Amino acid sequence: NAGVMQNPRHLVRRRGQEARLRCSPMKGHSHVYWYRQLPEEGLKFMVYLQKENIIDESGMPKERFSAEFPKEGPSILRIQQVVRGDSAAYFCASSALGQGIVGYTFGSGTRLTVV
């Protein structure tokens, strides 16, 4: 049973380019969460999605960031026109229950570097 799969593991983008981060949840999990971790800091919630629905996007920056979780395929976190401040580790987590009572399983993360 593969865990939460994120790719790519490392991503380098020049300022102004687009970054697309992918997350495939654990088998049987239909709830996906994205978190961002800036260097030397804790994780900050970004967005919570179910299949084809955004449930809570209160942590998403208002501009340039978007997320989707289509009926088929992985969840995508998209960052348009990246800036240096977007450099961070982006973690995806999944759960089988909406409340995550039994805990979340985190992926290995995508480390985005904007040069």
Site membership for other proteins, residue 91 (CB under 8 A): yes
Q: Of 77, 82, 107, 114, which lies in the binding site for other proteins, with binding defined by CB under 8 A?
A: 107
- d(Cα 94, Cα 6) in Å, to the nearest integer? 11
Q: Of 33, 65, 69, 90, which lies in the binding site for other proteins, with binding defined by CB under 8 A?
A: 33
CB atoms within 10 A of CB 35: 20
For residue 71, give the amino acid letter.
K
66 or 108: CB nearest other proteins: 108
70 or 98: CB nearest other proteins: 98
First to last CA, the chain: 36
Distance of closest approach, residue 81 Cβ to other proteins, in angstroms: 26
Strands (E), 51-108: 53-56, 65-68, 75-79, 88-95, 105-106
- d(Cα 31, Cα 13) in Å, to the nearest integer? 28
Distance of closest approach, residue 109 Cβ to other proteins, in angstroms: 5
Q: Which parts of this chain interact with other proteins (CB under 8 A)?
A: 31, 33, 35, 41-45, 48, 55-56, 58-59, 91, 95, 98-109, 111
